[in-house]
Structure 1
Amino acid sequence: VLRQDISVNEDIYGGMSRAELSQAQDKELQLAQQDIKMEQTKDKKNTLESYVYEMRSKLLNTYRSFATEPEREGISRNLQETEEWLYEDGDDESEHVYTKKLEDLRKLVDPIENRYKDEDARAQATRSLLNCIVENRMAVESLSASEKNAVFAECHKAEEWLREKTQQQDALPKNTDPLLWSSEIKEKEDILDAYVSHITNLRKSMDSH
């Protein structure tokens, strides 16, 4: 039997070879990635632009009493410069550049934003600690006299600490960093709760033996 090799070119998808198809798919993927990158860059630019407008408004209203005059002036100047840059040299920049610009602005605004946010958080934390003190004073019925006194003493210490710190905080203007942060009050509550839980658990353990 006579065998003869016949050369065959495999054509698929309307006459495209596998190599051509692979190239076309790579090109399509590349274009899709470019589209995604462009969209991400556009989003970052819009985020920066929105931040500029939002902070300018908040600085005049919501955050006004929480920023010093030099802080307001400095931030306002940076916001104005950023806005002008966005419509001039920064009209067609990379995602990284927009991200960096936003980070730089946040570094200026964050301290003021933190003061504003912590005022409400501090009030909530204060109420929570006072409730914790009341509840722990009421939860000592099963304890011995010395254990009760120990709990009462810790509650009193927490109460006095809060009163003293609150007085000091209230004497400060809003446009300075708090002397008393809400996180400190929360920590004090956690410590008090842990102390009372330790004593009550010891009592339960002793009573069970």
Structure 2
Amino acid sequence: MVKKQKQRRVELSVTPRLDVIGLSGQEVVEFRKKEVEMNDRDMLITKTRDSKNELESYILDNRPRIADGGILTEYMTKEQQAKFIQLANEYENWLYEDGADAELSVYQEKVKTLRAIGDAATDRRRNFEDVEFELPVFKQEVTKAKDTALGAIGKAEHITEEELREVAAKCDGALSWAEQEISRYREQPKSEAPLLTCATLREKQKEAVEAVRVVVQRPAPPKPKEAAAESKNEKSADEQAPAEVPPEENEEVPPVKDELD
């Protein structure tokens, strides 16, 4: 029998050696800290330069669009327009004077202030153009769904004419809704928050098309004869299956004779 050896756990302390040729461990640590500081400083310089360039570019790109006759003029109020032009001129002068060597946070704050006005106008313009583009698609898809519903009348016994005309009427309602909403949207000042969006149009279109799809694609129930035949086949299979005969309670099972006897 092998004698089990006793084992004892001992806590060990490890001191890493950072010494390299010609440098002590402390010097290596100090150089590492300086390297991290240099990388952080370079990153800050890059971010600051990029933010400064962003501010300058935003002013030069958007001031003509927002000035009188620009593509964004009608998508903001006179007060918003005047405010943006004032800030753009003020920030541009500042950039070439006291702001030439400003901190990152200062550039970021000025960009944020201008974007709050300029980006909102850009979004309103984009939405107006997108809605005008989306409207014909909406009408085409909803009208197609309506025609599908009406064209299915009399084609399937399990789908009633009433059901099909009901979903076709939903399509008519969606088309009427779109006409009313686009009329209101075109009449509202373009400088206000839009009353209609592409997302709203698509959701309404989805509701109408889905209502038609659910009715038109509903599967037919099984015919009575087929159902009866299936039931009869199942019953016949049950009758043909051998029945299990349970052993009688007092029946003795003869012992199995051992071949060695």
The answer as to whether partners of 2:146 and 2:212 remain within 8 angstroms in 1 is: no
Q: 2:26 aligns with which of 10, 19, 23?
A: 19
Which residue pairs with 2:98 in the alignment?
Answer: 89
Tell me how far 1:173 sits from its aligned partner. 3.8
The answer as to whether partners of 2:48 and 2:104 remain within 8 angstroms in 1 is: yes
> Which letter maps to 1:75?
F
RMSD of equivalent CA atoms: 2.3
Which residue pairs with 1:76 in the alignment?
Answer: 85
Task: Give the secondary structure class of the aligned counterpart of 2:126.
Answer: helix
> Which letter maps to 1:58?
R
Q: 2:147 aligns with which of 138, 151, 171?
A: 138
The answer as to whether partners of 1:115 and 1:177 remain within 8 angstroms in 2 is: yes
Q: 1:127 aligns with which of 136, 158, 164?
A: 136
For residues 19 and 126 of structure 1, do their structure 2 counterparts lie closer, same or farther at Cα, with a shift above 3 Å needed? same
Equivalent-residue separation in structure 2 for 1:67 and 1:186 (angstroms): 26
Identity %: 24
The answer as to whether partners of 1:115 and 1:178 remain within 8 angstroms in 2 is: yes
Equivalent-residue separation in structure 1 for 2:102 and 2:50 (angstroms): 12
Runs of 4+ in 1 over 6 A off after TM superposition: none
Which residue pairs with 2:9 in the alignment?
Answer: none
Equivalent-residue separation in structure 2 for 1:200 and 1:28 (angstroms): 70
Equivalent-residue separation in structure 2 for 1:44 and 1:53 (angstroms): 14
The answer as to whether partners of 1:111 and 1:177 remain within 8 angstroms in 2 is: no
Q: 1:174 aligns with which of 183, 187, 190?
A: 190
Report the TM-score, using the length of structure 2 for normalisation: 0.68
Report the TM-score, using the length of structure 1 for normalisation: 0.83
Structure ranking higher in helix proportion:
1
For residues 18 and 164 of structure 1, do their structure 2 counterparts lie closer, same or farther at Cα, with a shift above 3 Å needed? same
Tell me how far 1:147 sits from its aligned partner. 1.9
Equivalent-residue separation in structure 2 for 1:10 and 1:76 (angstroms): 59
Which residue pairs with 1:29 in the alignment?
Answer: 36
Higher relative contact order by CA 8 Å / sep ≥ 6: 1 or 2? 1
Q: 2:115 aligns with which of 83, 93, 106?
A: 106
The answer as to whether partners of 2:174 and 2:204 remain within 8 angstroms in 1 is: yes
Equivalent-residue separation in structure 2 for 1:107 and 1:10 (angstroms): 52
The answer as to whether partners of 1:133 and 1:159 remain within 8 angstroms in 2 is: yes
> Which letter maps to 2:51?
K
> Which letter maps to 2:106?
V
Tell me how far 1:208 sits from its aligned partner. 4.8
The answer as to whether partners of 1:11 and 1:17 remain within 8 angstroms in 2 is: yes
Aligned length: 197
Which residue pairs with 2:225 in the alignment?
Answer: none
Q: 1:189 aligns with which of 168, 181, 205?
A: 205
For residues 153 and 37 of structure 1, do their structure 2 counterparts lie closer, same or farther at Cα, with a shift above 3 Å needed? same
Which residue pairs with 1:6 in the alignment?
Answer: none
Equivalent-residue separation in structure 1 for 2:161 and 2:62 (angstroms): 57
Q: Which runs of 5+ in 1 are unaligned?
A: 1-8
Q: 2:175 aligns with which of 147, 153, 159?
A: 159
> Which letter maps to 1:137?
K
Query: Greater Rg, structure 1 or structure 2?
Result: 2
Q: Which runs of 5+ in 2 are unaligned?
A: 1-16, 223-261
